[in-house]
Amino acid sequence: MPPKELISAAAIAKRVAELAREIDAGIPPGPLTVVGVLRGAFIFMADLVRALPREMTCDFLGVRSYGDATVSSGVVEITSDLAAPIAGRHVLLVEDIADTGLTLRYLLDLLSARGPASVHTCVLLSKPSLQKGTAPIDFVGFDAPDKFVVGYGLDAAQVYRNLPYIAVIDP
Ligand code: IMP
Ligand code: MG
């Protein structure tokens, strides 16, 4: 049985279009690099950049934060770095979900040290466990429940990324 739907594909599409407008208004003009965090953000980023009507480059960071477990290890490992420098560019960091916010914090510090013109953060989902002050999140798609969610790029032990909607599972 497929996991239980929490956010439909149609609701995601509507919110992604709104988010793109918020982002376009919120990031100043100038060279823009959108950085997706692999692998969870790949589907969200694909939809988001197609809704953003401005010139940009797309790049990716490979990150391992949980291994295949469903609880935070608190350890972030970079498995693949950006392909190009970001000095002098506006950067939009795109992540699938913020739980504690520790992954985002780590990546924000990493990118900020490379001399970008600005770094903004965007997550599709934000959990209630996000500690205030851990990482500033500029653009949020949806508030997520304190449950394990999958689909639309998010996985449980690498499975379910291809679900077109967001679902809740019992890990
Ligand atoms: P944080 O560092 O605690 O904010 O965890 C963020 C990372 O944990 C995300 O990039 C996800 O890969 C993963 N994660 C956290 N919660 C979930 C979930 O409910 N489903 C799938 N992945 C999750
Ligand atoms: Mg992730």
pLDDT digits over 91-128, tens only? Answer: 999 999 999 898 999 999 999 999 999 999 999 999 98
How many whole angstroms from 56 Cα to the centroid of ligand 2? 22
170 is a catalytic site residue: no
Confidence of residue 166 (pLDDT cuts 50, 70, 90): very high
Question: Which residue from 7, 93, 96 has its CB within 8 A of the most atoms of ligand 1, so it is best to mutate?
Answer: 96
DSSP helix/strand/coil, 48: helix
Q: Give per-residue pLDDT as tens, 124-156.
A: 999 988 777 788 999 999 999 999 999 999 999
Mean pLDDT (whole number) for 19-43? 97
Give the model's pLDDT for residue 64: 84
Can you tell me the distance from the alpha carbon of 36 to that of 42, in angstroms, rounded to the nearest whole number?
7
Confidence of residue 170 (pLDDT cuts 50, 70, 90): confident
Task: Name the nearest CA neighbour of 63 among 43, 44, 83, 81.
Answer: 81
Query: Could you tell me the CA-to-CA distances from 131 to 11, 61, 102, 114 in Å, in that order?
Result: 26, 23, 9, 26
Residues with CB under 6 A from ligand 1: 40, 65-66, 72, 95-103, 148-150, 154
CB atoms within 10 A of CB 126: 19
Residue 160 structure tokens: 């379910």
Give the model's pLDDT for residue 74: 60
- pTM metric for this prediction: 0.94
Question: 47, 59, 99, 155: which one is catalytic?
Answer: 99
